[in-house]
Structure 1
Amino acid sequence: MYFVYEIEFFSNKSYFSDLISAFARQEQMQVDVIQSNDKIVMIFDQENEQIEKFLNGMKDVLPASLFLGKGKHYFLDEKPSALPVTKVNLPVNIAPCPTCQKEMFDVSSRRYYYPFTSCNHCGTQHPFLDRYPYDRTHTVMKFLIPCSHCQEEAKSNVLRLDYPLISCIECGVSIRMLDKESEHLALNKGDFRKLFEVSGRAIAAGKNVLMKTAHGYRKFFKPTVEYSPAKSILLMADANGLNTHLMMITQEFNALLSIERPLLRVATKSDDLKAIYGSSVQVKYPDDGMTILLAREIMNAGLQYISYVECNADEEADFLVDFDLPIKKQKDMKLFINQDKKLFVSGERIVFPTVVENSKNLVSIAHDLACVKTDNLSIIDSLEVFDSVQSDMLYVLEDEAFEGGHSNEHRFSQWNASMLSVIAEHDKVGQKAIGVHFDGTLNFLYYNGKEVMNVVPSIPFESDNLWEKISTLREGSDRLVVNYKKAYPEVFERLDNLAGDMDIFEVTAIVLGLENESLEGISAQALSFLGKGGLQVDTRVKDNRFDNYAFLTSIMSYQLGGVENNLMCYSIYESFGDYIGEIVPQLIEKSKAKIITLTGETFANQSLYGRIQRTLGQYNPLMNKNFPIGKENAVYGALYL
């Protein structure tokens, strides 16, 4: 008889199961730990009296994870056979685990206030990777020689056995703080603590601090009504302040505090935050050693939150906190939550690097990510961490600035690879499907089991000569242009002099006068609408094709009629939802397909997502599970072209 404890874990990432295995070795517990695509299974000999103690002990070792679900236990007469699993050592980029965080705040530890504290199963490892394979000689840590304590620990500590990035204050990365007059170098525990303490007090006093973190340079400041840049991110230093200042469902709260630390747009609750950010704000919980230590000192200075903007090293600031090692910054991962549904929207951190199946000898490249075969495994990661490789084929995203010089090179479109990424993730390759790709432009696709076709493409949008295109759209459009110029002369002039290619949502944000001139700005406004129904925005013209200019004309007409921005933005998404809900059933009937895929980060909006669930919910549309629904899924989908 065997005792089995099973935990839902909806990811192919192994850091959670590896941590369980390490803890078992530490506690000398005999247990088989098996991970599949959606769960982690622990199999014990029932006669072991230490099982309950072991399971209770795991609570102090295991972190919260956004991939984690429910647990259950049961008994088996026979021990199930474990399938052999090929493992590859990939660097993670998550927050420190509970054990590592305890060290950072234990004054007796060699890592007291040391921001680069991590172990085999946690921390910001990927930023220090130089190239594969992932070992110390291929990281920027190769320049630092571990002290005798770290060398011994790499042999004896189950969490850091042969850990490539092992270091401490004695042998690790030095940090320094500069102002306009002096420089302070942290060399010991007291120095490290003092540096973060001074930084926290400076921010509380209204100064700003430019800090190099494992996620790049961030400029931290105390947000006010007078100073809150459009793309600033709220850093909630105190977990107790989350429910005080933000209006969240349980799933959002758990996701923010998970070890993955995603970026989440959340509704504001307190009057202070509403006055600064409006109805919603992008929120983070401290996600690397530098930010975690700063957050502790922010709390000691009496604040529950601060803000930051991502920036370059030459950004003006009152203080600079820096270190000399180069890092490879990953784009932060935006997460979208609708009840129990979690979707990665865009970014690299958390999702990449990852191992995928790839039966072909090909390399795919998209958005500076590459899928490369190494030692019979295919890894998706940043292009710059791979050495040159040999392959039979090279697939490159169209418009990607990459010259491979391969004799068998193919260019592919975003919508094509995005749809195939969902098809492949759900094991539907070869089955007919209808796809909707909505990422700046809206396209309706058909997959016949062999290739993807764009059957209802958008009418191309060009932002130059905008007024000429609008005035000739239909009868009466010229009068709209005249009236709009009188009512909004500054906006009219700006639209008359647009430079470069801009997508429809950037132009729409300008029309509405939003501070954040992007899809993100429109989405934030839509979230602030508390009504039950919107207006019908024109989303198509002849042949059921979406026309960007008709769309803009409709918005301008409502604007002239005095419609508020939040209602307008809500109506935009609601109208798109109705349009999609009308076209897809027509395509299903014509093609007899039974599968629907949805791709593109535009779907990460509560108004649109909710409308799609009402109009297409009966078809159970499929979306990416382990990859972003936005552009980064293309590097995986290209493997199935």
Structure 2
Amino acid sequence: MAIIQRIEYKIEHKYFAGFLQQAIDESGVKGSVEQENGVIRLTLDESDPKALERFSAYTQKYLPHSIFLGEITTERAEAEAAQSPFRSPAYPIAPCPLCLEEITDPASERYLDDTVCCTHYANEECYEDQDATCFSPHYNGNDTVLLCDAKKVRELFLVTDEEIKALFSIEKPTLKVTINDPELREITGKKFVRLKAPYNVKSVLAALNAKESGINTLFFNERPNEPFVVLVQEHLHMVRDNRISAPLKSLHPDPALNRFLNVAEEAEASQAIGAYLSRSRGISFPVLTDQGAKKVIDFPAFDLREVIDTMMNDDTRRRLLENFTKTFPHEAHALSEAMEGDLFDAICVVMGLEERSFEALSDLSLEFHGNGGLKIDMNFEEEGFDYAAMLGSIMSFRIAGVEPHYLAYSIFEAFGDMTVSVLGQLKREFKIDTFLLMGDLFENSVLFSRILSKFQISKPYFSSRIALDG
């Protein structure tokens, strides 16, 4: 008899199955690992109970968590192990628990060895990480915090169990978290930061040195190819393409439609409606039918000059703009000098924020903890989306004295409501009920949560292996 485990694994990467093969080799149990079609099959012969105990002890100590793990089912059946051992190519993953033990244990021959390269996932070659990152105990506007002492994570930050599992997974993604430590809040001047656990040998050694000096966190500017994930209601998704996300096939020359078609293929959808909410590629709603894929709604590029001209050519909107200028002359002047910015830059100016960026507005929205936002105008006209109506409604609420964090929350909630409304209309028009959602605006958890809570027409599909955006 054999124990057979079927492990759902949401990406083609073979390193997790490789760690299982390593456990088989080290424990001496008769077993095998196979991976195919999103499932890892682990077969363990029951004839040697002591070997099974060694396998169990080894995996409990050294098998890392992976953000791509899904459901695991176990059964006992007559089965034989595969003849050939599993092999994995090298991957840009973090040092495994066994590597960390070797590096951090003073009794180890490889203590503080900066040449350690993980070969514990049935890989014949190892990935050499060339990292020029500088870590500092001093905050200089750096975008990411390195956690030096894992035991202090809950003391320093407000994090859930799922966030901790992701943070310390073998992929070591970056997460946006709430700062709990008053001193760290004062140092950074922020309530939310991007947090990362040591992700390669260099960062492990930097964190170890800092920890021994009584320093809990280091600051650094993150490399562009690092995975950044959003985790909402146990839904974990990578925001942008990175070192571990699935590469896109070339299915369409348009980048937005290409990502849409890749996600549709993953979802095994021959027909689908999509929502692509992206800072860099704009907002569009593509549809896949038997005739192919096309954008049926494509928001025009935001142009602040055109928005101001539209407001000036309408009596009601002109009076609103004049009233806003009288009430907030500083913001009005800043708006006149921000003509080259994007939509979120303009919104930040109207709201009087010092930092003008999507991230600044997104962080502000997270400060509101109530239920239900204000109604921000998200109207469509013949020419497309009415940016003037949206910006005008934000000006109106600002004049009315609405708290900035409540207004920011309402803006992202409105994006969610607009998305659900448009998808509902497209469902009725095309008679399609498969919905694929993409784009880095979903980095904002208010928007993400709104979609999940209001999406009554069908369960929305977010890819776990393909990043939300490029």
Same fold (TM over 0.5): yes
Match of 1:51 in 2: 52
Give runs of aligned pairs for residues 385-396 of structure 1, distance below 5 A: none
TM-superposed deviation, 1:488: 3.0
Give runs of aligned pairs for residues 316-395 of structure 1, distance below 5 A: 331-351=225-245, 364=250
Report if aligned partners of 1:15, 1:121 keep a CA contact under 8 Å in 2. Answer: no
* Offset from partner CA, 1:268-294 (integer Å, 9 cap, x none): 223334444443221111212121111
1:298 aligns with 2:210: yes
- In structure 2, stretches of 5+ residues that fail to align are none
SS in 1 for 2:422: helix
Report if aligned partners of 1:596, 1:620 keep a CA contact under 8 Å in 2. Answer: yes
Match of 2:323 among 483, 487, 494: 483
For 1:7 and 1:519, the matched residues in 2 are separated by 38
Match of 1:105 in 2: 104
Cα 1:347–1:273 change in 2 (3 A) is farther
Amino acid at match of 1:31: G
TM-superposed deviation, 1:72: 4.5
Match of 1:77 in 2: 78
TM-superposed deviation, 1:330: 5.1
Amino acid at match of 1:455: V
Amino acid at match of 1:492: A
TM-superposed deviation, 1:61: 2.3
For 1:236 and 1:120, the matched residues in 2 are separated by 25
Report if aligned partners of 1:425, 1:625 keep a CA contact under 8 Å in 2. Answer: no
For 2:125 and 2:221, the matched residues in 1 are separated by 36
Amino acid at match of 1:303: I
For 1:160 and 1:103, the matched residues in 2 are separated by 18
Amino acid at match of 2:357: S
TM-superposed deviation, 1:76: 0.9
SS in 1 for 2:134: strand
TM-superposed deviation, 1:93: 1.7
Report if aligned partners of 2:148, 2:218 keep a CA contact under 8 Å in 1. Answer: yes
Report if aligned partners of 1:5, 1:71 keep a CA contact under 8 Å in 2. Answer: yes
TM-superposed deviation, 1:44: 2.1
TM-superposed deviation, 1:476: 1.8
1:424 aligns with 2:291: no
For 1:44 and 1:585, the matched residues in 2 are separated by 48
Of 337-346 and 433-442, deviating more is 433-442
Give runs of aligned pairs for residues 89-128 of structure 1, distance below 5 A: 89=89, 91-107=90-106, 109-121=108-120
Match of 1:154 in 2: none
Match of 2:66 in 1: 65
SS in 2 for 1:220: coil
Report if aligned partners of 2:237, 2:468 keep a CA contact under 8 Å in 1. Answer: yes
1:235 aligns with 2:146: yes
Amino acid at match of 1:333: P
Cα 1:515–1:498 change in 2 (3 A) is closer
For 2:259 and 2:316, the matched residues in 1 are separated by 39
Amino acid at match of 2:268: D
TM-superposed deviation, 1:517: 2.4
Cα 1:163–1:536 change in 2 (3 A) is closer
SS in 1 for 2:133: strand
Report if aligned partners of 1:337, 1:343 keep a CA contact under 8 Å in 2. Answer: yes
* Offset from partner CA, 1:139-181 (integer Å, 9 cap, x none): xxxxxxxxxxxxxxxxxxxx6755575xxxxxxxxxxxxxxxx
Report if aligned partners of 1:466, 1:495 keep a CA contact under 8 Å in 2. Answer: no
Cα 1:23–1:88 change in 2 (3 A) is closer
For 2:266 and 2:444, the matched residues in 1 are separated by 22
Cα 1:490–1:62 change in 2 (3 A) is same
SS in 2 for 1:16: helix
Report if aligned partners of 2:285, 2:296 keep a CA contact under 8 Å in 1. Answer: yes
Report if aligned partners of 2:31, 2:81 keep a CA contact under 8 Å in 1. Answer: no
Match of 1:253 in 2: 164
TM-superposed deviation, 1:350: 2.2
For 2:189 and 2:9, the matched residues in 1 are separated by 35
TM-score in terms of structure 2 length: 0.90
Match of 2:11 in 1: 11
* Offset from partner CA, 1:54-111 (integer Å, 9 cap, x none): 12222222222222345443211244889x999773x422211112112212445553
TM-superposed deviation, 1:304: 1.9
TM-superposed deviation, 1:627: 1.0
TM-superposed deviation, 1:214: 4.0
Amino acid at match of 1:120: T
TM-superposed deviation, 1:479: 2.1
Give runs of aligned pairs for residues 424-573 of structure 1, distance below 5 A: 424-428=265-269, 431-440=270-279, 441-464=282-305, 467-472=308-313, 474-498=314-338, 500=340, 502-543=341-382, 545-573=384-412
For 1:252 and 1:266, the matched residues in 2 are separated by 9
* Offset from partner CA, 1:227-254 (integer Å, 9 cap, x none): x62x522222111221112222211111
Cα 1:121–1:547 change in 2 (3 A) is farther
Report if aligned partners of 1:541, 1:550 keep a CA contact under 8 Å in 2. Answer: no
SS in 2 for 1:25: helix
TM-superposed deviation, 1:217: 2.9
Match of 2:26 in 1: 26
TM-superposed deviation, 1:511: 2.7
Match of 2:442 among 582, 603, 606: 603
Match of 2:138 among 222, 240, 243: 222
Match of 1:285 in 2: 197
For 2:324 and 2:387, the matched residues in 1 are separated by 18
TM-superposed deviation, 1:453: 1.9
* Offset from partner CA, 1:109-138 (integer Å, 9 cap, x none): 55332234112357xxxxxxxxxxxxxxxx
Cα 1:539–1:22 change in 2 (3 A) is same
SS in 2 for 1:437: strand
Report if aligned partners of 2:437, 2:462 keep a CA contact under 8 Å in 1. Answer: yes
TM-superposed deviation, 1:527: 0.9
Report if aligned partners of 1:251, 1:339 keep a CA contact under 8 Å in 2. Answer: no
TM-superposed deviation, 1:516: 4.0
Amino acid at match of 1:97: C
* Offset from partner CA, 1:564-588 (integer Å, 9 cap, x none): 2111111011112222222222211
Report if aligned partners of 1:115, 1:288 keep a CA contact under 8 Å in 2. Answer: no
TM-score in terms of structure 1 length: 0.67
For 1:448 and 1:162, the matched residues in 2 are separated by 44
* Offset from partner CA, 1:537-581 (integer Å, 9 cap, x none): 111132594222321221122112211211111101111222222
Amino acid at match of 2:32: D
Amino acid at match of 1:220: S
Report if aligned partners of 1:27, 1:54 keep a CA contact under 8 Å in 2. Answer: yes
Cα 1:37–1:250 change in 2 (3 A) is farther
TM-superposed deviation, 1:52: 2.3
- In structure 1, stretches of 5+ residues that fail to align are 123-158, 166-212, 311-328, 359-363, 365-394, 396-410, 632-641
For 2:454 and 2:137, the matched residues in 1 are separated by 44
Between the two proteins, what is the percent identity of the paired residues? 25
For 1:464 and 1:86, the matched residues in 2 are separated by 60
* Offset from partner CA, 1:503-544 (integer Å, 9 cap, x none): 212322233233442222221111110111210111113259
